[in-house]
Amino acid sequence: MSRRRRAGITILFVLAAAFLFWLDHGVIKPKWQAPSESNKSTKSYDLEKYHAKTFSVVNVVDGDTIDIDAADGKYDHTRIRLWGIDTPETKNPETGVMYFGPEAAEFTRKLALGRQVTIYLDESRTRDKYNRLLAYVKLPDGGFLNEVLLTEGFAYSDLRFKHDFYNKYKQLESAARSQKRGLWEKITPEQMPEWRQDKIKNQDENIKNTD
């Protein structure tokens, strides 16, 4: 083999080694790399940080959404969406202020704002699509805010997602509805959330199909 050919092969090996080094340390990262700091909001991380821990409620956004005094990534507070229920909107620009929304927000404010609450998570899921923490919130008196809102007629049982207390929450709503508590006293189907209206339509269609 000529000296020129050997030199060419050597250069190719050097270039190949340099390229592999760049892949390992440069812009292209291997898929197996360790998780970054921005990916800490995982299920196991949430369970370790929040589950069965007590925090102070520093803000009430609306009936089913609160902030607690625990940093969450770049935010000073952790936003919690009460798991398993849905209260009428007060801040959503698409829906505007819905029937019984202000009443539900004020009810949550009286029960939770400034109070020490204990957070319980569902192991099947800890975050929603907006990265809010999904939680059952235990009040100082031992009751759960999620359940109190249902019992007193300030919230719907959220039938869109399965969770540990799905059937119990359906029963709590049914009892409030039969007793015409809270929003159930005068509400019309048109005043309900869109997802709830769709559920009613589907139920009516199923009934017609079985006749």
Active-site positions? 81, 89, 132
Helix (H), strand (E) at residue 54:
strand 53-62
The secondary structure of 139-199 as a DSSP string is -TTS-BHHHHHHHTTS-EE-TTS--TTHHHHHHHHHHHHHTT-GGGGT--GGGS-HHHHHH
d(CA 43, CA 126): 6
The pair of structure tokens assigned to 131 is 């990265």
Task: Determine contact, residues 149/158, Cβ cutoff 8 Å.
Answer: no
